[in-house]
Each structure stands twice: as C-alpha cells, then as structure tokens.
Structure 1
Amino acid sequence: MADKEGLYKELERGKVLAIEIEADSRNALLARATTVLSRIMVQPDNVKAAARQEIEIVDDTDVEMMHDMLGAALNVFRSGFLWRDAELEERGGPIVVWLSGEQYDPDRHSLLTEIKGVQEHQLVVENKDGKWRTRITFDI
C-alpha cells in the first residue's frame, strides 16, 4: 500500500513497519526518507515550516548514512521538533540535512505512529537501473 502522497510504499505493519522508497538520486532518496519518517509519525497538515534544524552525518556507506540520518532525525523528533520537509546539502564529506518545521504543540499537531528505532540489519540502499531504492524497517 502506498501513502496518499506517493512518497513511499508500506510493505509490512505489525511489530515493525517496513517501507520502500524510490528516488532519482542518492541525495533525493536520503531527503525523501527523512520526510517520510516525519509523515509516518505526524500528520503534516498543521506543521508549519517556521524554523529549521540541521543534522550533519558522515559515514562510509549508503546504508550507514541512511541509518544514522534517520536515527538523528528521530532524536530531533524526540526533542520536540516536528518537520514537514527535508533538504539535503553535501559539504565535501559530511551531508547536512535541513529539517523545516516547528516545535510540537499538542493543541495543533496530531501524532500518528510511534517509531522506536531504525533496524540497520535489514536496511537496504541500492542503485538499480538508474533508480535509487531503499527498504527501511522501523521498530514501532
């Protein structure tokens, strides 16, 4: 089942949530995965892009990059910052992810799914036939 925006496809939901995401480039895939994480946890309609949070990641492999980026974004969420969009910038080594959103307001924001963590051992990031794909499994 795909989400209503077409950002990802849900493969499994139970004790875990497994999704698949596709994009035209590695950076677009990383940015989309970070946006999708937010869409799974929070209804985006009332989240305003009033502020930005920065996440900087340096890793050796695409799988490590995806895992650490989503883990860092999850920590930002736990600190009370919700985002509706993510942009990516490469800085000659580190990747910077800019999260556009605002602080959580229980009167305005609807929480959807609690994500406890990202499973690295089942994470897949690949480039096949000119498309970048990832399969991510979240502990819920």
Structure 2
Amino acid sequence: MEEPGYEVLDISGDVGLKVRGETLEELFINGALGLYSLVTDLSRVKPEKSINVNVYSESIDGLFVSWLNEIIFQFDTYGFIGREIEIESLNENRIEAKLKGEDFDPDRHEKGLLLKAATYHNLKIEKRNGVWTAEVIFDI
C-alpha cells in the first residue's frame, strides 16, 4: 500500500499536517486529502458527486491556506467531503480544482475532528531537493 503524502502533527490544543508532493499539484492534493482524513475515514467516502473549487491569493502560502479553508467551508456549509481531487489549473496565485466525494452521512461516516480553520501560524512551504513540503496548523 502506498504511503500517504501527509502525516498528522500533534500540537498542543491544535492539530497540524506535514504534507509532501513531488509537484505543487501533488502538494495541494495531499493537503486536501490530509485535511479530509482528519474529518473522517476516507475509505468510506464515495466519489458520487463533484464540486468545483476556485481560489486566488497573492502568494503561495496564502493560496495553500485559502485552499484548505475553502475545503473546510465546503464541509461546514454544505457537508461535502471529498475523496478524489483533480487539479485543473494551478500556479502560485490561483488554483482551480474538481473535488469528487459525497455529502457527509453520520450513519456511514465516522466523525473525526471539527476543524475551524487552517492558519498561518508556523506555516512552512518549501521546495527542497525536488520535493515540495508544507506544514500547516489547524484551529480545532
């Protein structure tokens, strides 16, 4: 089984993710999947419907945080939980993606953490030796 492109960071009072990707697209996909894995068991989510997500920011740091916060917004507002992410367009200021998943069903989906927001606190995004990494902390 392939190792996920993220790991959970245990931070006192909050939770974080360390995300990896060989490309910027993979970094953003793994960030989204890591976030969703904090919310529920992804193996129980079916890619039954899709939504489009478009985010703009002035910097790559801002784009990553805004991307994760848009995903949290879609879950909090509409109950949408994704399992598959397709990046349609990505540069350092804009991301356009299609997220495939379904509406959260408490009878089928295990309830994980309730994430309030991705934060800029101790945010790190860098490319080293051809690999992108990011560390992000969430308010819970």
How does the TM-score come out when normalised to structure 2? 0.89
Cα distance per residue 1:85-113 (max 9 Å; x no partner): 22212178632121110112121111111
| Runs of at least 4 residues off by over 6 Å | none
Aligned to 1:128: 128
**Pairing 1:1-140 to 2, within 5 Å after superposition:** 5-78=3-76, 79-90=78-89, 94-140=94-140
Contact 2:56/2:94 (8 A) holds in 1: yes
Distance in 1 between residues matched to 2:68 and 2:133, nearest whole Å: 15
**RMSD of the alignment, in Å?**
1.8
Distance in 1 between residues matched to 2:43 and 2:128, nearest whole Å: 33
Distance in 2 between residues matched to 1:117 and 1:26, nearest whole Å: 21
Distance in 1 between residues matched to 2:66 and 2:90, nearest whole Å: 17
Range with bigger deviation, 4-13 or 46-55? 4-13
Distance in 2 between residues matched to 1:41 and 1:131, nearest whole Å: 26
Count of matched residue positions in the alignment of Structure 1 and Structure 2 = 137
How does the TM-score come out when normalised to structure 1? 0.89
Distance in 2 between residues matched to 1:33 and 1:136, nearest whole Å: 9
Distance in 1 between residues matched to 2:20 and 2:42, nearest whole Å: 20
Shift of 1:123: 1.4
Cα distance per residue 1:23-62 (max 9 Å; x no partner): 1011110111011111111111221100011110122211
Shift of 1:69: 0.4
Shift of 1:12: 2.0
Range with bigger deviation, 115-124 or 70-79? 115-124
